[in-house]
C-alpha cells in the first residue's frame, strides 16, 4: 500500500534517484496491476530506468499543472526542451547555448523568444530547475540560475534519457486538440463502453481529486458509487488506505489523519485554519436558517457577500492567526482564500459570484474554549480543533 501511495504521489520513480523504492515497486507491480488497468484505466510504464503511473485525470482542475511554473511560456519552453532532448542520445552532453538556440528556433512561429528579455530568461531558468529536479537533465558544470542574470551564462548538461517517458502516450494523433476540454473529450474517444468510462472516471476522480460531485441532471456517477460502494471502498482502501464517504451530492475518499500522504486538507498552515473557520461560520448560519443552500447543497454568494463573510471571520478570529496572514490586506487575503478553496474543490469562482460547494460544510474547525474565553495572552497560530 505504501509503495503504491508513493507512486501515486510522485511524477515517477527512477532507479537513479531512489533505487530502493524503485526495486520495491518493481517487485510488487503485480499487486497494483488490477486496479491500475481495470478500475483506473491508466498506463503503467516499467523499465530499467523508471516506473511511472500516467495519472490522467478525468477532467482538468485549477490546481493541476507544474507547481513550479507561473507563466504559459514556461510550458512552451518545457515542450521545446523535450523536443531538443528527443534528438540526443542517452548520456549525451550539451551546452546551454546550444539549447537556447534550438529552443528559439522551435518556438519561432508559436511564441517568439528574445533572450535579452529578463522574463524570458527567468522562464527558462524555472524550466531548467524543474528538469533537473525530475532528472530529465543533469547539470555537470555551471548553474542554471546564472542564466537569469546573463544570457552569456554557459552550463554543461547531460541528457538522462528520461524525456522519452515524460509525455502521456495517447496512442493517437493529438494535433487537433486545441484546449484542455479537447483533451478531456479525446481521452474517451474510441471507447464505446460507457460503463467502463464511468468506472474509470469515478476511480480517477476519487484517487486524484478532493471530491466527486454530481447533480440531479447527471446521476450516473452517483448511481455507480452507491450501487458499487462496497467494491469502490474495497479497492481504494486496499491500495491507498482511508475511508470512502458518500453524501447526498458528493463522495470523498478521506485518508486517516495519522496516515496521510501527499498534500492534504486540512494541514498545518494558518491559511488552512482560516478556511476551516470560515466554513464553520457559514455552516452555523445555515443551521440557524440565516443562509439557505440550494437543493444540491451549494450556496451562492455575490463577491461582496463572500468578502463580508471573510471580513466577519477575520474580525472574530484573527487574534489566533499568524502575523503573515493578519498583516495581509483584505484583497490579498480574499484572493488567497479563494485560490486555496478552488484548489480543494470547496468553491467555484464565477464572474460575479462565489459558489460554496458541499465539501465546505464537511470540513470545518473551531478554536478551543480557552481562545474564545480569554482576550489576552493569545499566541500567534493558536491551535485549531478540526472536525
Query: To which residue does cell 474554549 refer?
Result: 369
Write phi, then psi, for 302 (nearest 5 degrees): -70, 165
Q: Which among 165, 197, 217 is the end of a domain?
A: 165
Q: Which among 165, 191, 212 is the end of a domain?
A: 165
Residue 315: count of CB within 10 angstroms of its CB: 9
Q: Please report whether residue 66 resides in a domain.
A: no
* pLDDT < 70: residue spans in the chain: 1, 186-192, 215-218, 257-262, 369-387
How far is Cα 126 from Cα 120, in angstroms, rounded to an integer?
Answer: 10
Q: Do 276 and 382 reside in the same domain of the chain?
A: yes
Residue 137: count of CB within 10 angstroms of its CB: 24
Q: Do 154 and 194 reside in the same domain of the chain?
A: no
Q: Do 184 and 40 reside in the same domain of the chain?
A: yes
Does residue 266 have a cis peptide bond before it, meaning omega lies within 30 degrees of 0?
yes
Does residue 226 have a cis peptide bond before it, meaning omega lies within 30 degrees of 0?
no
Residue 362: count of CB within 10 angstroms of its CB: 17
Q: Do 243 and 283 reside in the same domain of the chain?
A: no
* Domain membership of residue 375 as a residue range: 270-386
How far is Cα 73 from Cα 380, in angstroms, rounded to an integer?
Answer: 39
CA 164 to chain centre: 23
How far is Cα 368 from Cα 39, in angstroms, rounded to an integer?
Answer: 43
Write phi, then psi, for 379 (nearest 5 degrees): -90, 150
Q: Do 296 and 351 reside in the same domain of the chain?
A: yes
- Going by C-alpha positions, the residue among 63, 75, 99, 262 that lies closest to residue 166 is 75
Q: Residue 100 to residues 82, 105, 112: CA-CA distances in angstroms?
A: 13, 9, 12
Q: Which among 165, 181, 201 is the end of a domain?
A: 165
Taking the alpha carbons of 338, 340, 342, 348 in that order, is the dihedral positive or negative?
negative
Q: Please report whether residue 62 resides in a domain.
A: no
- Going by C-alpha positions, the residue among 44, 10, 8 that lies closest to residue 26 is 44
Q: Do 332 and 242 reside in the same domain of the chain?
A: no
Q: Do 228 and 250 reside in the same domain of the chain?
A: yes
Q: What is the pLDDT of residues 130-150, one digit of tens each?
A: 999 999 999 999 999 999 999
- Going by C-alpha positions, the residue among 276, 271, 259 that lies closest to residue 362 is 276
CA-angle at 248, arms to 245 and 250, nearest 5°: 55
Q: Please report whether residue 307 resides in a domain.
A: yes
- Which triple of cell numbers denotes residue 116? 535579452
Q: Please report whether residue 64 resides in a domain.
A: no
Q: Do 159 and 199 reside in the same domain of the chain?
A: no
Q: Do 204 and 301 reside in the same domain of the chain?
A: no
Task: Please count the structural domains in the chain.
Answer: 3
Q: Please report whether residue 65 resides in a domain.
A: no
Q: Please report whether residue 265 resides in a domain.
A: no
- Which triple of cell numbers denotes residue 169? 502516450
Q: What is the pLDDT of residues 281-292, one digit of tens each?
A: 999 999 999 999
Q: Do 161 and 180 reside in the same domain of the chain?
A: no
The full DSSP string for 207-233 is HHSS-EE--SS--HHHHHHHHTHHHHH
DSSP-derived 3-state class of residue 249: coil
The pLDDT assigned to 378 comes to: 46
Q: Do 89 and 154 reside in the same domain of the chain?
A: yes
Q: Please report whether residue 198 resides in a domain.
A: yes
How far is Cα 312 from Cα 299, in angstroms, rounded to an integer?
Answer: 17
How far is Cα 307 from Cα 125, in angstroms, rounded to an integer?
Answer: 37
What global pTM score does this model have?
0.81
CA-angle at 220, arms to 214 and 224, nearest 5°: 100
Q: Do 280 and 375 reside in the same domain of the chain?
A: yes
CB 282 within 8 A of CB 299: yes
Count each helix (H run) and each strand (E run) in the chain, helices first.
15, 14
Q: What are 159's strand-pairing partners? A: 137
Q: Please report whether residue 264 resides in a domain.
A: no
Amino acid at each position: 500500500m505504501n509503495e503504491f501511495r508513493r507512486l501515486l504521489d510522485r511524477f515517477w520513480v527512477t532507479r537513479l534517484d531512489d533505487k530502493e523504492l524503485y526495486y520495491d515497486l518493481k517487485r510488487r507491480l503485480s499487486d497494483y496491476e488490477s486496479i491500475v488497468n481495470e478500475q483506473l484505466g491508466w498506463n503503467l510504464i516499467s523499465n530499467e530506468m523508471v516506473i511511472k503511473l500516467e495519472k490522467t485525470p478525468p477532467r482538468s482542475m485549477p490546481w493541476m499543472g507544474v507547481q513550479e511554473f507561473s507563466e504559459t511560456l514556461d510550458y512552451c519552453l518545457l515542450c521545446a526542451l523535450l523536443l531538443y532532448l528527443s534528438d540526443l542520445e542517452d548520456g549525451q552532453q550539451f551546452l546551454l547555448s546550444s539549447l537556447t538556440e534550438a529552443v528559439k528556433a522551435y518556438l519561432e512561429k508559436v511564441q517568439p523568444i528574445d533572450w535579452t528579455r529578463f522574463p524570458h530568461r527567468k522562464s527558462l531558468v524555472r524550466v531548467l530547475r524543474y528538469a533537473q529536479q525530475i532528472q530529465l537533465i543533469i547539470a555537470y558544470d555551471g548553474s542554471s540560475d546564472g542564466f537569469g542574470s546573463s544570457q552569456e551564462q554557459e552550463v554543461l548538461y547531460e541528457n538522462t534519457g528520461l524525456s522519452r517517458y515524460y509525455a502521456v502516450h495517447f496512442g493517437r494523433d493529438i494535433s487537433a486538440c486545441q484546449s484542455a476540454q479537447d483533451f478531456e473529450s479525446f481521452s474517451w474517444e474510441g471507447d464505446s463502453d460507457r460503463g467502463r468510462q464511468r468506472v474509470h472516471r469515478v476511480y480517477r476522480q476519487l484517487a486524484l481529486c478532493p471530491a466527486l460531485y454530481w447533480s440531479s441532471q447527471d446521476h450516473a456517477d452517483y448511481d455507480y458509487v452507491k450501487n458499487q460502494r462496497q467494491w469502490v471502498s474495497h479497492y481504494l482502501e486496499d491500495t491507498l488506505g482511508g475511508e470512502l464517504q458518500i453524501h447526498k451530492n458528493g463522495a470523498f475518499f478521506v485518508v486517516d489523519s495519522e496516515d496521510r500522504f501527499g498534500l492534504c486538507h486540512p494541514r498545518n498552515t494558518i491559511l488552512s485554519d482560516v478556511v476551516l473557520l470560515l466554513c464553520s461560520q457559514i455552516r452555523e448560519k445555515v443551521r440557524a436558517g440565516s443562509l439557505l443552500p440550494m437543493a444540491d447543497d451549494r450556496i451562492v454568494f455575490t463577491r461582496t457577500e463572500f468578502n463580508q463573510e471573510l471580513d466577519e471571520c477575520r474580525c472574530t478570529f484573527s487574534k489566533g492567526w499568524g502575523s503573515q496572514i493578519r498583516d495581509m490586506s483584505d484583497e490579498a487575503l480574499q484572493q488567497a482564500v479563494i485560490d486555496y478553496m478552488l484548489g480543494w474543490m470547496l468553491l467555484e469562482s464565477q464572474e460575479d459570484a462565489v459558489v460554496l460547494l458541499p465539501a465546505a460544510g464537511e470540513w470545518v474547525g473551531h478554536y478551543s474554549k480557552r481562545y474564545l474565553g480569554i482576550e489576552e495572552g493569545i499566541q500567534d497560530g493558536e491551535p485549531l480543533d478540526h472536525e
